[in-house]
Amino acid sequence: MQKLDSSMMDFEERLEIDDFESEVMERIYSKPLLIKRVNTTSQIAIVGANVCPVESLDYEVPENELVNEDWRSRRTVQIVQYILLKWAFALIIGLSTGLVGIFNNIAVENIAGFKLLLTTELMLKHKYFKAFAAYAGCNLGLATSAAALCAFIAPAAAGSGIPEVKAYLNGVDAYSILAPSTLFVKIFGSIFGVAAGFVVGKEGPMVHTGSCIASLIGQGGSRKYHLTWRWLRYFKNDRDRRDLITCGAAAGVAAAFRAPVGGVLFALEEAASWWRSALLWRTFFTTAVVAIVLRGFIQLCSTGTCGLFGQGGLIMYDISAAKVVYSTPDILAVILLGVIGGILGSLYNYLVDKVLRTYSIINERGAAVKILLVIMISLLTSICSYGLPWLATCIPCPADASTSCPNTDVSGNYKSFQCPPGHYNDLASLFLNTNDDAIRNLLSTNTVKEFHISSLFIFFVAVYCLGIITYGIAIPSGLFIPVILAGSCYGRLVGRLFEPISKLDVGLFSLLGAASFLGGTMRMTVSLCVILLELTNDLLMLPLVMLVLLISKTMGDMFNKGVYDQIVKLKGLPYMEAHPEPYMKHLIARDVVTGPLITFSGVEKVGNILHALKNTGHNGFPVIDEPPFSDAPELCGLVLRSKLLVLLKGKAFSKDRVLAGNKVLRKISELDFAKAGSGKGLKLEDLDIQEEEWDMYVDLHPIANTSPYTVVETMSLAKAAVLFRELGLRHMCVVPKSQGRPPIVGILTRHDFQPEHILGLYPHIRFQQ
């Protein structure tokens, strides 16, 4: 083992990490984790693989003797089996996610329906205080249950989950975000949270749920539960798991919005960082399976066997009955909606960021404080939902109402609340409903005068503010529904204002408002356009939806990033952006690497390897061949910590410093190096190395990646960043440009490309853009 800078020995001690996993969880999910590193030396040429609690995934397929032997041993039937299993797993993901999606919908509708029916019955008997107590009490119990699940079982289940899935598909291996416990809490916590009346949605959590299901299926078997069939071993790698989780994310969108094509486009546009045509086919197949499952169960529920779920259909908010005719004033109104959506969306993102930072400080104080915060937000939401309708005046029921008025059922456009017979309360029709039904009421067509302008304004302000302060508490909470709810509200408000000169129905204005707010917050275009059209079944609105999305996204981008990008940054997940920062073009690769670099010889002493593994947190080590194994020092490859641990456990040692040849291949197979699933992999403490074995030698050639990706030290950092992301790398070796120097300058990891690291080394470079 060689240390290219012995003066930095003390740096190794500062890199030791105690109680690794618990510390990671606390830092990631309790407070923003901002990666700050200090330039400890001016000798940039002594770079090592960085140490960070959040590791990267191994998407690269290594090339070494062990992998080559494994591929040579595979028969045609095994290759066919591998391909068929990919499609079989996609089928299982679609079926499972579809079943979970229908279960979530049925559970929310029945639990929330019981609560609303109880409240309505007490209101009809003029027992207003009891009605509020019942309403707030049910909300409080459901909210506390959701918070307790998140606080005590799976903190990673709080929030939307889309930022975490997006980071995972970018190559970030954040601990437990796809664990089975997270899946359990995500399902039931989401049901309780949405049924509790919070201004949250189940759509974001469904994306996380679908990804968790895919991760669970893609574990490649389990040694703990004796599921170790040989044909499952092909999936014990990050590359195949990444593809399955991409299918799971698309299936989650398809199950949440009943939009299979929108799910595929969402995975392509927002979730996945790498894409290829083969994955497109499997993702499309998965979402098609979800649509079939949903269709089958919705037909079953139409017979009344699903309680209060109702009849419904794959089209959640059908507005196809409205006549789509627009003129110049309507185009001006659409442009105005796009501008408003971009401004309100960027403000929404800014306020959500500030609230999340505040909540992260509060949540550091423990589970009890998390639950208390949820209780406070629940009480505030209940007070607003029950109290604000008292500000509205009773409106006479329209003579041509298509549904019963006033409505005393679970859902409907015309809630009686405290009004006399023949009248309804328009604010109660929005507040005392599930969020899905409130959106359905706002998107209703041919009901121009149903909601007062003042009521729409009050509801918009309430939903806008409640959506901001609710996201970030310890419950699974999606952002899609709050944004659609607020956007459709101000869209209808604009439609009422433009009513004298407009030909568009106010329900269509609601759709355009929802699109503008979605574009202003999430900064997606194609996928949102298709999702909204699948939701509403009105293809004639395509040009206007496209226009409003483009304008709102452009306006929002002028102020800040999309909400999911902000949350990824806030959580400290080292996400690799598609486009490098402008200041990276002023730097070269060697400028951002820091030390110490620790290398191994091709045939290394066991004691040296153990010392390096114990005293550093590096996950990648260059392997250098020296005489007599080569004429001059040369880079032989790169070996991972996980593979070193397996090799040491196999004890393929020799007393002499010689090449092992096939000896290692006989003792250890490629299956032994397969990555562990959600359980813990091999740890240094699991090794049983005797003292006399420390002076023995082990050949690293069979397990080293003999063709790691390398860049010359003078390459532009911006170019290196693009290569790193596009190839899905975990380590990038930096080699010297001139002869007569050590064969490797250092190693770049994703943390070396983060702005916090670069600007920590060069604080003034941001002014040179």
From the list 211, 227, 220, 213, the residue with the least C-alpha distance to 263 is 211
Question: Distance (Å, rounded) from C-alpha 379 to C-alpha 382?
Answer: 5
Q: How confident is the prediction for the chain on average, in pLDDT?
A: 86
Question: Distance (Å, rounded) from C-alpha 148 to C-alpha 74?
Answer: 49
pLDDT at 136: 97
pLDDT at 679: 54
Residue 376 pLDDT grade (very low, low, confident, very high; cuts 50, 70, 90): very high
Query: pLDDT tens digits, residue range 673-695?
Result: 777 665 567 888 888 888 888 99
Question: Distance (Å, rounded) from C-alpha 673 to C-alpha 64?
Answer: 12
Q: CB of 102 within 8 A of CB of 254?
A: no
Q: Are strands 172-173 and 395-396 parallel, antiparallel or unpaired?
A: unpaired
Whether pLDDT at 184 is above 70: yes
Whether pLDDT at 220 is above 60: yes
Rounded to an integer, the average pLDDT of 100-122 is 92
Question: Distance (Å, rounded) from C-alpha 197 to C-alpha 111?
Answer: 11
Of 38-52, 445-459, 607-621, give the lowest mean pLDDT range: 38-52
Between residues 32 and 187, which one has the greater pLDDT? Answer: 187
Cα-flanking dihedrals φ and ψ of residue 635, to 5°?
Answer: -75, 115
Query: pLDDT tens digits, residue range 2-44?
Result: 433 333 333 333 333 333 333 333 333 333 333 333 333 322 2
Whether pLDDT at 530 is above 70: yes
pLDDT at 226: 59
pLDDT at 305: 82
Q: CB of 342 within 8 A of CB of 556?
A: yes
Q: Which amino acid is at 187?
A: I
Whether pLDDT at 652 is above 50: yes
Find the length of the chain: 769
Whether pLDDT at 412 is above 90: no
CA distance from start to end of the chain: 41
Rounded to an integer, the average pLDDT of 627-639 is 89
Query: What's the whole-model pTM score?
Result: 0.88
Query: pLDDT tens digits, residue range 547-576?
Result: 999 999 999 999 999 999 999 999 989 999
Which residues have CB under 8 Å from 538's CB, separation 6+?
A: 319, 320, 322, 324, 508, 511
Rounded to an integer, the average pLDDT of 245-257 is 96
Measured from the Cβ of residue 71, the count of other Cβ atoms closer than 10 Å reads 10
Query: pLDDT tens digits, residue range 36-68?
Result: 333 333 222 223 333 346 778 888 888 887 777
Query: pLDDT tens digits, residue range 268-327?
Result: 999 999 998 889 999 999 999 999 999 999 888 888 788 877 665 666 888 888 888 888
Which residues have CB under 8 Å from 760's CB, separation 6+?
A: 36, 37, 38, 39
Q: Please give the helix or strand (H or E) that residue 664 lies within, else none.
A: helix 663-667
Rounded to an integer, the average pLDDT of 651-676 is 76
Q: CB of 736 within 8 A of CB of 713?
A: yes
Q: Which amino acid is at 461?
A: V
Token pair 């790398």 is found at: 729
pLDDT at 243: 94
Question: Distance (Å, rounded) from C-alpha 62 to C-alpha 722?
Answer: 20
Whether pLDDT at 470 is above 90: yes
